[in-house]
Amino acid sequence: MILVDKHTKVIVQGITGKMGAAHTKRMIEYGTNIVGGVTPGKGGEKMHDVPVFDTVKQAVDKTEATCSVIFVPPYLALDAGCEALDAGITLLVLITEGIPPLDTAKLVAQVKAKGAKLIGPNCPGIITPGQSLIGILPGSIFKSGPVGMVSKSGTLTYEIALALTESGLGQSTCIGTGGDPIKGLDYQELLSMFEHDPATEVIVMIGEIGGSAEEEAAAYIKKNIKKPVIGFIAGQTAPPGKRMGHAGAIISGGKGTAESKLEAFKANGVRVAMTPSEVAKQVAEALKQPAKA
**May I ask the CATH class of domain 10-119?**
alpha beta
- Give the residue from 222, 192, 193, 191 showing the smallest Cα distance to 207: 191
Architecture of domain 138-288 in this structure:
3-Layer(aba) Sandwich (3.40)
* Common-topology check for domains 10-119 and 138-288: yes
- Active-site residue, from 7, 23, 48, 246: 246
* Helix, strand counts (H, E) of the chain: 9, 14
What sign results for the dihedral spanned by CA atoms 18, 60, 90, 110? positive
Domain range list for the chain: 10-119, 138-288
pTM of the model: 0.92
R_g of the chain computed on alpha carbons: 19
Residue 243 is predicted with a pLDDT of: 54
Residue 242 is predicted with a pLDDT of: 54
Instruction: List the chain residues with pLDDT less than 50.
Output: 247, 249
Rounded Cα distance, 99 and 224, in Å: 33
Rounded Cα distance, 238 and 257, in Å: 9
Active site residue 23: no
